[in-house]
Amino acid sequence: MERFDRFMAGANAAYYANQDFAADFVTAPELTQVFGELLGAWAKTVWEMMGAPADIILAEAGPGSGALMADALRAWAAPRVHFIETSPRLRAAQAKRVPHAVWHASLATLPEAPLILLANEFLDALPVRQFIRREAGWMERWVKAGVYAEFPAEYTLPDDPVGSVREINEAALDFCEELARRDAVGLFLDYGPMHSAIGSSVQAISHGKFADPLGEPGTADVTAHVDFEAIALHCNAQGPVKQNAFLTSLGLFQRTEYLALRNPARAFALRQAAERLTAPEAMGSLFKAMVLCPKGFPTLPGFE
């Protein structure tokens, strides 16, 4: 028997160690090179706003195939590149695209230096604790032999109606607090609501279809919506803004057209990807961008 968040952590570690996530769901950097290029140019501007420190580290959490960073580095050849990645299989894929990167299992071992961190669809993979309100009070969800079990919660939670579910992503909060302690600038793109919401957002995806989150651990990607508002309560943030507003203001369509006109064979795919990233019914609206930065930092590009 395990607490739900520990079950989710184990399931995802097994999933990313063994499965090809690109076969199960499509992410922005896999759709178009423009996504990573815009983020690289964004990071360069942020670095200049920091006063262009020579020892800057450009880091990425959960770099997947390494495509985002490879594209970003064409826009800004950052001198030091660090990856936070736990999957040995994905580390090997990333090494093919960004051979000079330095790998870490967590933020803790990153050198203390000026830091810009990018993370696309990373926080949603971190484990959440789940609580359900019963007559007698709040209970926490555990997993026992493939089904949910409940034990009295040690957390103090708001007095929601009986049957309400709440999620707390302690791992995401810890990650963000460590970034804040380092005075880093961290850009997160992920799906979640503008404001904290009650209800279960845990879902599992396998081969592009919804699966049972409590099914065989390691066969599906288990995610939860990112509670941006809760993170922004703990750490100084700009945003969240909708992904379509963010990417459009960074020049998604201009860069796409530039490439499309020069590569007629790829024009259709490039334009289709830009559309998919911004259409409200696709990835434009549910996905948000939020940036953590030191207090008093000027307004960052895309967050005007």
Residues at the contact surface with ligand SAH, assessed by CB under 6 A: 12, 16, 21, 27-30, 62-64, 68, 84-87, 90, 120-122, 125-126
Q: Which residue has the tokens 């670095």?
A: 47
- For residue 176, give both structure tokens: 């963000």
In the complex with ligand SAH, which residue's Cβ is closer, 71 or 132? 71
CB of 144 to ligand SAH, least distance (A): 23
Phi-psi region of 161 (alpha: psi -120 to 50; beta: other; left: phi over 0): beta
In the complex with ligand SAH, which residue's Cβ is closer, 84 or 176? 84
- Rounded to the nearest 5°, which phi and psi values hold at 263? -130, 75
In the complex with ligand SAH, which residue's Cβ is closer, 2 or 257? 2
Is the separation of the CB atoms in 117 and 182 below 8 Å? no
In the complex with ligand SAH, which residue's Cβ is closer, 85 or 140? 85
CA distance 220 to 214: 9
CB of 194 to ligand SAH, least distance (A): 21
CB of 7 to ligand SAH, least distance (A): 14
CA distance 122 to 64: 9
CB of 272 to ligand SAH, least distance (A): 18
In the complex with ligand SAH, which residue's Cβ is closer, 126 or 143? 126
Q: Please give the torsion angle defined by the CA atoms of residues 59, 60, 66 and 67, in that order, rounded to the nearest 10 degrees.
A: -100
- Residue 12's closest CA among 148, 131, 125, 110? 125
Amino acid at 205: I
CB of 26 to ligand SAH, least distance (A): 9
CA distance 298 to 171: 28
- Residue 289's closest CA among 171, 186, 183? 186
| Burial class (CB within 10 angstroms; exposed 0-12, middle 13-18, buried 19+) of 62 | buried
CB of 189 to ligand SAH, least distance (A): 8
Ranked by CB distance to ligand SAH, the top (closest) residue is 62
In the complex with ligand SAH, which residue's Cβ is closer, 91 or 271? 91
- Residue 128's closest CA among 212, 248, 7? 7
CB of 125 to ligand SAH, least distance (A): 4
- For residue 247, give both structure tokens: 């990417």
In the complex with ligand SAH, which residue's Cβ is closer, 8 or 293? 8
